[in-house]
Amino acid sequence: MNEEKSEAPGRRRFLWLSGLGAVGATAVGGAAVLADYVNPKVLFEPPTAFSLGKPDMFPVNSVTADYERKVYVVRTEVGFFALSAVCTHLGCITRWLEDEETIACPCHGSKFTRDGAVVQGPAPRALRHIAIRLEEGELIVDTAVEVERDAILRT
Ligand code: FES
Separation CA 62–CA 76 (nearest Å)? 7
Quick check: CB of 82 below 6 Å from ligand 1?
no
Quick check: CB of 122 below 6 Å from ligand 1?
yes
Q: Which has the higher per-residue pLDDT, 45 or 26?
A: 26
- pTM, two decimals, is 0.69
Largest Cα span, the chain: 107
Asked whether the beta carbons of 106 and 117 are under 8 A apart, the reply is no
Q: Output DSSP code: residue 91.
A: -
pLDDT of residue 128: 95
CA 67 – ligand 1 centroid, Å: 16
Task: Return the closest-CA partner of residue 151 out of 101, 82, 60.
Answer: 82
Quick check: CB of 118 below 6 Å from ligand 1?
no
Quick check: CB of 83 below 6 Å from ligand 1?
no
Burial environment of residue 22 by CB neighbours within 10 A (0 to 12, 13 to 18, 19 or more):
exposed
> How large is the average pLDDT for residues 93-98?
94
